[in-house]
Amino acid sequence: MATQPRFIKPDCHRPVNWKESAVLKAFKTSGYLFAQVKEDGFRFHAFIDNADKVRIVTREGIEIKALEVCKEQLRGLLVELPDGFCVDGEATIPGIPFEEASGHLRRFEEVQLPVVFYVWDVFPVYALLGERPWSEPYAERLNRLVWAWQSGDSSAVDVQCIECETVQNLAEAEQFFEAARAKGKEGLVLKVPDLPVINGKRTGQWKMKPSDNCDGIVRGLVWGTPGLGNAGKVIGFTVELESGVLCDVTGITRDQMETFTTWGTALLGRYVEIAYMEMTAAGSLRHPSFVQFRDLDYATGWKA
């Protein structure tokens, strides 16, 4: 299958991993932080193009074909924003695990299940593309988003502003985190209130999760040890992390071993999500395990 081309070339702001000293410094400087519930969903950007069509793309700028059937759900919100603005959020399929939902959303076929869009930010498309800066602080952008959501006909159950509270200190953040986890949520993202639109994986927002996850690119295959039960099978991957460090990632199931052994070198270059306990001083990962592929089925090597 031919690789799906990029529709646009975004450079979205991605939260960095938890660093308590940086978070404490942000509390001291700003006085408070926004704590947003982290939905376990499929990140998207949506906007209305010059032909008055709603476009929904991945954070790599590839149109999400599975969401063609439900993209008009977002029009009621988008028409309340200035021309040329986009929204940032997560698409979810309620009632099924994220791994299964992600599989539905990564495919070329239109999804046949109900989709809920959670939105948390709004800014001009040119800022998403990194063409020129947009300095409006996050506190004002959040107010703009809530106003647009309340003003339009987008306040139905299928489009929601993500749950968010202001927290004054780390203890309040931890209390909100525990409440979110009790609801089955993935965790929180903490953001400074005067945060402008920043392109790339930069500080200013931090993931607050029970364990860390990161993405990387498959550069090699890890094979089972000769003479043991998994000899001749792919038992994991050598993954290049975003830092450039190479790390062997295992933790795949026996069924996955059979499948990945059949696929072999076709897996090289694919993006994967890795769960791990902590990062070492050398930048490697302790107890890394494979979670899922993070690229699109119809655009291998482009991260969703």
Rounded Cα distance between 23 and 192, Å, is 9
| Global confidence as pTM | 0.74
Q: What is the pLDDT along the chain (304 residues), one digit of tens a residue?
A: 345 667 778 888 888 888 889 999 999 999 999 999 998 888 999 999 999 999 999 988 899 999 999 999 999 999 999 999 999 999 999 988 777 888 899 888 999 999 999 999 999 999 999 898 899 999 999 999 999 998 876 545 599 999 999 999 999 999 999 899 888 888 899 999 999 998 888 889 998 887 788 899 999 999 998 888 889 999 999 999 988 999 999 989 999 999 999 999 999 999 999 988 667 778 888 778 899 999 888 888 888 8
Rounded Cα distance between 28 and 109, Å, is 48
Pairing of strands 13-16, 200-208: parallel
Question: What pLDDT does residue 1 have?
Answer: 37
**Residue 159's beta-bridge partner residues?**
117
Number of helices followed by number of strands (H, E) in the chain: 7, 19
CB atoms closer than 10 angstroms to residue 2: 6
Phi-psi region of 139 (alpha: psi -120 to 50; beta: other; left: phi over 0): alpha
Question: What pLDDT does residue 272 have?
Answer: 95
Rounded Cα distance between 250 and 255, Å, is 13
CB atoms closer than 10 angstroms to residue 153: 11
Rounded Cα distance between 215 and 71, Å, is 27
